[in-house]
Structure 1
Amino acid sequence: MSTAPPPLPSADHERRLHPWSWLFVLLLQLRQYLLPLVALLVFGQRGDRDPLWAQLGPLIVIAVLVLASVLQYLSYRYRIGEDGISIRSGVLARNRREIPFARIHNVVVHQNLLHRLFGVAELRLESAGGNRPEAEMRVLRLDEALALEQRVRHRSPAPQVDAGRTDDGTPPPLPETDERHLLLRMLPGEVVKLGLLSNRGWVMVAAALAALVQVVPRRSMDAFVEQGGRQAFGYASGLQPGISGLLLVAAAVLLVGWLALRALSVLLALLRYYGFELSEQQRRLTVSSGLLSKVRSSVALRRIQAWTLSETLLQRWAGRRQLRIDSAASQTHDENQQRGLRELAPLATPKACDALVRHLLPQVQWPPAHWQAVPLRGSWRLCITSLWLTPLLAAGLTWRWGYVGLLVLAWLPVALWTARLQMARIGWHLDGQHVALRGGWWRRWWRWAELDKLQALRLSRSPLDRLLGTSSVWLDTAGARGDVALCLRYLPQAQAAEVLQTLGAALARRKLRW
C-alpha cells in the first residue's frame, strides 16, 4: 500500500463509490451467509422430490443479494466539504449523515488481495461515540481513500497551548510537522517469533471446531467421531505395540499436533503483521501491516486514553513485550470485531517499548522510579476459590477411592504460594502527570493513563475488603477496553481515600481548564 500523500480533494459535487463497489458488498454478504448456504446445499436437498422453489433456493438467495448490493451502490452518495463529509444512502429509507472531521478519531484503510487486484481500498471512519463506525465506504479508489485520510489528518483540530507552559506547569506538546517519522518496524524474523510465542493457532482451531459443530448435524458428527475412533483403535490393536509403544505413539501425535499449531500461528502472524510499521506524522500515529490483506490505521496521539505493556512467560524468556493502547474509538459492537488502532508494538524488546513510551509521552516518567506495594496479609483472597473447592473435591475423592483422594490437598500450599507471589507483584504509582499500576505473576502487565484522560472515579469495598480493611479505586477513561481493568486494588482504606481525593482534585482542575 502506497503511503505517499496524495493531493487533497476539494469540495465539489456528490460522488459515487467505485463502480465495482457492489461486487465487494456482494462478496461480504456471501461471506456472512456462506455457512447457511452451504448447509442448505448439502443437507437441505432431498432430490427430485423437492419442489422447484426449494431446488432453486440458493440461486434465489444469491440473486436477492446481488440486487441488494447493486441498489446499495446506486443509492450511496458522499460529498467532501471543508469541515466534514456528507453521506446519503438508502433506497426505501433515505438517510443523510453529516460527519465533521473533528469528530473522526480513527481512519482505517483496508486492502485485501482482491482490493489490491482492482486498485481499490475500503475506508472506515471511526469516532468515540456509538458502537459502529461513522462511515464504511466499500470501496474507493486507493488514491481517493488515501486523499480522504490525508484530509481528515489536516482538518482535525490541534490542541491549543501557550508558547511557554500549560496550565499545570508541564511543557506543551511537541509542535506538529509534516515530516513522517518511522518509530518501529518489524522484520520478518520478528513476525515469525511473534507467531511462535503466541497461541493464535489454538484460537483458530477452536473457532473452526465451534463453527463445525454449529453447521454439521449432530448425528453426522457423532457417526464420524465413532467411525474414526473405531478405525483408529482397530489399527492400533492390529499393530499390538504394547504400553511403551502406545505411549510413544501418543507422544508423537501430540508433538506433531503442537508443531502444526505453532506453524499455523506463524502463518497467521505473517498474514497479519508482515511489513508492520509504526510511524508518526503531525502528532498522529499510523500503523500499516499485512501480507495479503493490507491494513492502514491511524489515530491522533491526543486520542489515546490508556496504555498497556504485557509479557507472557514465553515472551519474558525471549526478552520481548507487547505495547497496546486504548483509544476513544476502540469500542466494539461485535465481540469478534476489533475497532480502532490497538497495537503499537506487537512484539519488541523491553528497551524498545520503554523508549517508544518516553518518545510519545515526554512529560511522563516511564518506567516509574518507585512502585507503591500493597499489603501481603490478604494474599489468600486471590486463591479463595481453591481454598473452599479443594477440600470439597478431596472429600468426594476420598469417599469414592479412599485415602488416595487426600493427595488433592497438596494443591492448597501451591495455591497459597502462587497467590502470595501474585500479590507481591501488584503495585501502583501516582504523580502529577499519570497513574500507573502493575500486576500479574505468570503473565505480567503494566497499565497507566494520564490524569487528564480520566473521566470518572469510583471507590468500592467488597465484604472481603471490609473484613481486611481495604478498598479499590476504579478509574474510567473513554474507550478503555484493555485486557486488565484500570483499578488500584487492595489498598488500605485510609490510603484509598487519600488517592481518591488526589485524583478527584486532578479531575476538578481539568474541568476548570475546560
Structure 2
Amino acid sequence: MSEAPSSDLLREHRLHPWSWLFVLLQQLRQFLLPLVALLVFGGGSGREGFWTGIGPLIAVGVLVVISVLQYFTYRYRIGRDGLSIREGWLHRSLREIPYSRVHNVVLHQTALHRLFGVAEVRLESAGGQKPEAQMRVLRLDQALALESLVKHRGQVLAVDTPVVPVDSLLSLPTAEVIRLGLVSNRGMIVMAAAFGAAWQLFPDQVMANYVETLGRRLFGYASHLQYGWFTTAAAVMALVLLALLALRLLSVVLALMQYHGFRLSEEARRLMVERGLLSRLRTSVARRRIQAWTLHEGMLHRLLKRRSLHIDTAVAEQQGKGDGRALKELAPIATPEACDALVRHLLPQVHWPRTDWIALPASAWWRLFLPGALLCVAGAAVLSAWQQHAWGLLPLLWLPWSAYASRQQARRAAYAVDERLVAIRGGWWSRYWRFAEIDKLQALRLVRSPIDRRMGTASLWLDTAGASGLAPSLQLRFLPEADARALYRQLSSALARRRLRW
C-alpha cells in the first residue's frame, strides 16, 4: 500500500548548504579558458596592467555572489502531484512540474560530490530545450528519496509496502569495458578537443610557431640520419602505429572512467543505468518513453563478436548540446545474443531478430555511388586546374573502392514491416539495424527527387520523437514507387487508427 506525502515533505526545502560551491565550480568551468588566457597573456605595466591582473579576481568574486544568491533564492516543494520550484531574486519564477511530465531522472555524482555526500538531480521532460529542474546539489538521501517519488508518481511507500524487485538486465565486467575502449574512438575525440582548446587558449601565432618549430626539428633530425626510403617509410609507419596504439590506450582509460561498474536494471517497468569510476552517474527512464532502437556493429565489433544497443527517448538533448547524461545506451557493448535478448525482453510483443527482410532492388547501388562519385570528379577537376599536373587526378583512384562499397551497402540494405514494427538495416563496413514500434511513429513523408521521378522510385521517411542526430535516419530509400505508395497507405492507416504512445 502507499500513502500521500507527509506534511514534512509538503513544506519548502532548500538546497544543500554547500550547493553554492558546486554552482561556483560549474560556472568557473565555463569561464576557465578566458580567465586563464587573461592571466597569462593579459599582463602589462601601469594602470592597464593592474586592472588586467585584478580582473579575474573581480570576475570570480561576482561568480561567488551569484552562486550564494542562488542558494538563498532557490526553494522546492514536494507535492502530491508534482514539484513546485521557486527561484530568482530580482526576476522571480514559480514552476510547477507534474510527476507525469518527468520522463527521465538523472543523479550525478563527481568525486567531489561523493566526498561531501551529495548529488546533483536533473529532471527532464519530452521536447524540452533544457531540464525541467536541475538541483545543484542535494544530500544523497534526499536525492534518492526524490528519485523514488518521481518513479512512483509522488507516492511515498509505506513501511509494510512490499519492495518491488529490481531485475538486473546487463552488467559489464572490466574485460567488457576494456573491449568497449578498444572499439571506440573516444581517445581521438579527446585529443582533437584538447588541441582545439589549446589553440583557443594560446594566441594563434604561439601555436603556429610551436607546430612549425616541432616540424623543423623532426624533419631536421630525420634528414641527419640519412636513411633510405624503405627505412624512412617503415619509421613513419611505426610512428603512425604507435600513435594509434596510444589513442586506443587513451580510449580504454576513458571507457574505464565512464563505464566502470555499468549496470542496467529494471524496476516497475522503469529502466535504470548506473556507471562511472570516479564520477558516478545514475539515470532512469520509463520503458514506454523509448521511441526507437539502434543496433550498431563496426568492423572492430565484428572482430570481437560484439554489438551495441542504443535507444532514442522522448527527452531532447538541447539540440545536440547535451552533456551525455540522458539514458541512451542500454548496452554500450555486448554479444549479439545478449543484445537480441534485451530487445525481446523489452519488446515482448514483437518478433526479433527479423527473418522477413525485404531487400532493395539490385540497381540501388549506383544511387548510393552517385553523390560520392560526383564529388570525387569535381575534386579532381579542381585540383587538376589548380596544380596543372596529372597529380590532380589522384582523387579518381577512389572511384573503384567507392563503387565496391556502394554495391556492398546496397546488398545489405533491407527493410521489414509488420503490424507492430518497422525496421531497416544498412551499412557495410559499419552496420546498423534501426527499428521502432508503429505506435511510436509521429509522421510519414513520401519523398521523390527528380531522379526518383525519372527512375520510378520513391523514399519513405519515418519520424519519431527524440531522434538523435548521430543515429541513422529511419527511412526506406529507393523503393519502387508502387511499393512505396502501398507501404505509405498501410502505415498511414495504422497511424490513423492507433493512439500515439510516448
| Matched residue, 2:406 | 419
Assess, with a 3 A threshold, how the Cα gap between structure 1 residues 334 and 358 changes in structure 2: closer, same or farther: closer
Aligned position for 2:308: 322
Show structure 2 runs of 5+ residues with no match. 156-161
Report the 3-state secondary structure (helix = DSSP H, G, I; strand = E; otherwise coil) of the residue aligned with 1:88: strand
Q: Which residue of 1 aligns with 2:232?
A: 246
Asked if residue 232 in structure 1 is aligned to residue 230 in structure 2, the reply is no
Aligned counterparts of 2:101 and 2:234: Cα–Cα separation in 1: 61
Q: Go from structure 1 to structure 2 and tell me whether the alpha carbon gap of 1:393 and 1:27 turns closer, same or farther (over 3 Å shift).
A: closer
Once residues 338 and 487 of structure 1 are traced to their aligned partners in structure 2, the CA distance between those partners, rounded to angstroms, is: 26
2:158 alignment partner in structure 1? none
Q: Return the TM-score normalized by structure 1.
A: 0.90
Following superposition of structure 1 onto structure 2, how do residues 148-159 of structure 1 map, counting pairs within 5 Å?
Answer: 148-155=146-153
How far the C-alpha of 1:393 sits from its partner, in A, is: 5.1
CA–CA distance in 2 between the matches of 1:241 and 1:476? 59
Indicate the residue corresponding to 1:488 in structure 2.
476
CA displacement 1:159-200 (0-9 Å, x = unmatched): xxxxxxxxxxxxxxxxx9811000000000000010011111
Does the 8 Å CA contact 1:77/1:87 hold for their aligned counterparts? yes
Question: Distance in 2 between the 1:408 and 1:492 partners?
Answer: 33
Which residue of the partner structure matches residue 453 of structure 1? 440
Task: For 2:325 and 2:444, locate their aligned partners in 1 and report how far apart those are by CA, in whole Å.
Answer: 25
Tell me how far apart the structure 1 counterparts of residues 298 and 496 of structure 2 sit (CA, whole Å).
38
Distance 2:133 2:322 in 1: 19
Once the two structures are overlaid, the 10-residue window that deviates more, 334-343 or 309-318, is 334-343
Deviations 1:348-397 (A, max 9, x none): 00000001100111001001121011112132111213433444555667
SS of the residue 1:473 aligns to? strand
Partner Cα distance (1:110, 1:513) in 2: 29
Map 1:367-378 → 2, pairs under 5 A: 367-378=353-364
Is contact 1:14–1:77 with CA below 8 Å preserved after alignment?
Answer: yes
Equivalent residues in 2 for 1:432-447 (5 A)?
432-447=419-434
Pairing partner for 2:119 from 110, 117, 121: 121
Aligned residues: 490
Give me the whole-angstrom Cα distance separating, in 2, the residues matched to 1:415 and 1:156.
57
Change beyond 3 A, Cα 1:433–1:148: same
Do the aligned partners of 1:330 and 1:341 also contact (CA within 8 Å) in 2?
A: no
Partners of 1:410 and 1:512 lie apart in 2 by 49
Confirm or deny that 1:39 pairs with 2:37. Answer: yes
Q: CA deviation at 1:305?
A: 0.5
Displacement of 1:507: 0.8
Q: Match for 1:371: what amino acid?
A: W
Aligned partner (choices 54, 60, 74) of residue 76 of structure 1: 74
Deviations 1:47-77 (A, max 9, x none): 4453533321111000000000000011000
- 1:454 counterpart letter in structure 2: L
The change in CA–CA distance for 1:315 and 1:458 in structure 2 (over 3 A counts) is same
Aligned position for 1:499: 487
SS at 2:497's partner residue? helix
3-state SS of paired residue (1:253): helix
**Matched residue type, 1:379:** W
Cα distance in structure 1, aligned partners of 2:81 and 2:216: 69
Of 251-260 and 360-369, more deviation after overlay is shown by: 251-260
Corresponding residue for residue 191 of structure 1:
177
Greater alpha carbon shift after TM alignment, 489-498 vs 288-297: 489-498
- 1:472 is aligned with what amino acid? S
CA distance in 2, matches of 1:43, 1:126: 41
Task: Tell me the CA shift for residue 219 of structure 1.
Answer: 1.2
Query: Is the 1:378–1:468 contact (alpha carbons within 8 Å) kept by the matching residues of 2?
Result: no
The one-letter code sitting in structure 1 at the alignment partner of 2:409 is Q
What is the identity, as a one-letter code, of the residue corresponding to 1:13?
Answer: R
Q: Which runs of structure 2 are paired with 1:253-402 in the superposition (5 Å)?
A: 253-335=239-321, 337-338=323-324, 340-392=326-378
1:420 Cα deviation from its structure 2 partner: 1.6
Aligned AA for 2:459? S
How much identity, in percent, do the aligned residues show?
A: 56
SS in 2 for 1:91: coil
| CA-CA distance at 1:156 after TM superposition | 7.4
Residue 44 of structure 2 contacts residue 52 of structure 2 at CA under 8 Å; is this kept in 1?
no
Gap change, CA 1:74 and 1:408, over 3 Å in 2: closer
Question: Matched residues in 2 for 1:405 and 1:89: separation?
Answer: 62
8 Å CA contact 1:183, 1:280 repeated in 2: yes
Q: 1:513 to 1:421 in 2, by over 3 A?
A: closer
The code of the aligned residue for 2:43 comes to Q
CA distance in 1, matches of 2:489, 2:461: 13
In the superposition, the TM-score normalised over structure 2's length comes to 0.92
Structure 1 pair 502/20, CA: closer, same or farther in 2 (3 Å)? same
Deviation at 1:333, TM superposition (A): 4.1
Instruction: In structure 1, give the amino acid aligned to 2:151.
Output: R
Pairing partner for 2:456 from 469, 474, 478: 469
Mapped to 2, the partners of 1:87 and 1:513 lie a distance apart of: 28
In 2, the alpha carbon distance for the partners of 1:51 and 1:404 equals 54
Residue 508 (structure 1) aligned with residue 496 (structure 2): yes
State the SS of the aligned residue for 2:119. strand
Q: Deviation at 1:471?
A: 1.0
Q: Match for residue 181 of structure 1?
A: 167
Identify the match of residue 109 of structure 2 among 104, 111, 119. 111
Q: CA deviation digits over 1:418-440, x for unaligned, max 9?
A: 21211111111111111111111
CA distance in 2, matches of 1:222, 1:441: 40
Match of 2:27 among 18, 26, 29: 29
Amino acid of the structure 2 residue aligned with 1:126: E
**Closer/same/farther in 2, CA of residues 81 and 156 from structure 1, 3 Å limit:** closer
Report the Cα distance in structure 2 between the residues aligned to 1:246 and 1:387, rounded to whole angstroms: 34
Question: Distance between the aligned counterparts of 1:406 and 1:95, measured in 2?
Answer: 63
Deviation at 1:152, TM superposition (A): 0.7
More moved, 77-86 vs 337-346: 337-346
Letter in structure 2 aligned against 1:448: F
**Structure 1 residue 324, shift from structure 2 partner:** 0.5
Please list the CA deviations of residues 296-332 of structure 1 after superposition, one character each: whole Å capped at 9, or x if unmatched: 0000000101011011111012100000000101432
Query: Which amino acid is the alignment partner of residue 68 of structure 2?
Result: V
SS at match of 1:378: helix
How far apart, in 1, do the equivalents of 2:384 and 2:496 lie? Answer: 60
Measured in 2, the distance between the counterparts of 1:177 and 1:491 equals: 51
Cα pair 2:127 2:466 within 8 Å, conserved: no
Distance 1:218 1:500, change over 3 A: same
Q: Distance in 2 between matches of 1:397 and 1:37?
A: 43
- How far residue 506 of structure 1 moved from its aligned partner, in angstroms, is 1.1
Instruction: Indicate the RMSD between aligned Cα atoms, in angstroms.
Output: 2.4
CA displacement, residues 215-241 of structure 1 (integer Å, 9 cap, x when unaligned): 211111122122222222333333334
SS in 2 for 1:459: strand
Q: Which moved more, 1:378-387 or 1:230-239?
A: 230-239
* CA distance, structure 1, for counterparts of residue 322 and residue 146 of structure 2: 27
Is the Cα contact below 8 Å between 2:422 and 2:436 reproduced in 1? Answer: yes
